[in-house]
Amino acid sequence: MPYAHLKVPAGTLTDASKKKLQDAVTDAFAEVYGERARPNTLVILEEVADGGWSFGGTILTADILGRS
């Protein structure tokens, strides 16, 4: 079963955007593995709370990412 676990900053996607992203990932797996993969593709979209990211030891917040 193809599996994708996507993590995005919380509050940055609408419900429609989430579906669009999940559909695009499913489409990509189906393109590579064939249509037989579509009904078995699992896509998890996880929203990470503000401050729940770090890069190079720096905590990334909405202010740093320019989303305040």
With tokens 């695009």, the residue in question is 24
Q: Where are the domains of the chain?
A: 3-65
pTM of the model: 0.81
Which residues are within 8 A (CB) of 29 and not within 5 positions of it... i.e. 6 or more apart?
2, 4, 37, 38, 41
**What are the structure tokens assigned to 44, written together?**
């998890």
CATH 3.30.429.10 corresponds to the domain 3-65: yes
Give the tens place of pLDDT for each residue, 20-53: 999 999 999 999 999 999 999 999 999 999 889 8
**Is 48:7 a contact under the CB 8 Å cutoff?**
yes
Higher pLDDT, 10 or 20: 20
